[in-house]
C-alpha cells in the first residue's frame, strides 16, 4: 500500500483542516469527547485520498501515540455518528474514510497489490428502491469493485 503519490486534494473544496474541523464539530454536537488520539486519527483521515484500514490509521497517527484498540473503538463510534464511512470488504477487512456529504462514491480495489482508486457516482438507487418496496427501511449499502490494476497486469510483473 505504498506509493509515493503526493496529491494535496483532488477536486472540490474543503482542505484537510476544514474537514477535521467539520468532524470535530459533529463530535461535539453528539456529545462525543474530542481527545488527542481522536484528533490524530481525524488528521490522518482528512489527509488521506482514499479509505484506510484501522492498522494504517494507527501507523500513520504514530503507533506509539495511541493504541490500536482505541483506533477501532473510535472508528466504531465515529461510524455510528456518521462521521466516517466504513467500507467492509473481502476477507473481513474494513477501510474507513471521512464522510464527505454529497460525495458518495465507491472504489476499485486491486486484488493483487491492494491499490485503491475512487470511482465517480453510485448506481444503487434502483436496487435501494426495490429494497424499500419490500418493506426494508434505514438502508445503507456496501459495494466495492475488485480487479487487477494496470501495474499488476503487466506481464513483467508476474
* Three-state SS sequence of 18-83: HHHHHHHHHHHHCCCCCCHHHHHHHHHHHHCCCCECHHHHHHHCCCCCCCHHHHHHHHHHHHHCCC
- Residue 47 interacts, among DNA, its own copies, none and using kind-specific CB cut-offs from 5 to 8 Å, with none
Identify which range of 5-13, 17-25, 72-80, 117-125 contacts its own copies by CB under 8 A: 117-125
Residue placing its CB nearer to its own copies in the complex, 46 or 71:
71
By C-beta, is 48 or 113 nearer to its own copies? 113
- Name the site residues for DNA (rule: CB under 7 A): 28, 31-38, 53-55, 65-70, 72-74, 76-77, 91-94
CA dist list (Å): 87 to 1, 122, 158: 17, 14, 29
Q: Beta strand pairing status for 84-88 and 116-119?
A: unpaired
Site string for its own copies, 72-101 (x = CB under 8 A): ----------------xxxxxx--------
Q: Is 55 one of the binding residues for its own copies (CB under 8 A)? A: no
Q: Which is nearer to its own copies, 73 or 93 (CB)?
A: 93
Q: Which stretch binds its own copies (CB under 8 A): 17-25, 29-37, 69-77, 138-146?
A: 138-146
To its own copies, the closest distance from the beta carbon of 132 in angstroms equals 8
φ, ψ dihedrals at 110, nearest 5°: -75, 125
- Give exposure, 8-23, as e/b (b: 16+ Cβ within 10 Å): eeeeeeeebeebbebb
Amino acid at each position: 500500500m505504498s506509493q509515493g503519490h503526493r496529491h494535496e486534494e483532488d477536486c472540490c473544496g474543503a482542505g484537510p483542516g476544514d474537514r477535521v474541523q467539520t468532524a470535530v464539530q459533529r463530535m461535539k454536537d453528539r456529545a462525543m469527547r474530542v481527545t488527542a488520539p481522536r484528533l490524530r486519527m481525524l488528521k490522518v483521515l482528512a489527509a488521506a485520498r482514499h479509505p484506510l484500514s484501522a492498522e494504517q490509521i494507527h501507523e500513520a497517527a504514530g503507533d506509539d501515540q495511541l493504541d490500536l484498540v482505541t483506533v477501532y473503538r473510535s472508528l466504531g463510534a465515529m461510524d455510528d455518528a456518521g462521521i466516517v464511512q466504513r467500507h467492509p470488504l473481502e476477507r473481513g477487512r474494513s477501510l474507513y474514510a471521512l464522510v464527505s456529504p454529497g460525495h458518495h462514491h465507491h472504489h476499485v480495489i486491486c486484488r493483487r497489490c491492494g491499490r485503491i482508486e475512487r470511482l465517480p457516482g453510485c448506481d444503487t438507487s434502483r436496487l435501494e428502491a426495490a429494497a424499500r418496496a419490500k418493506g426494508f427501511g434505514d438502508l445503507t449499502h456496501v459495494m466495492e469493485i475488485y480487479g487487477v490494476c494496470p501495474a499488476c497486469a503487466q506481464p513483467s510483473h508476474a
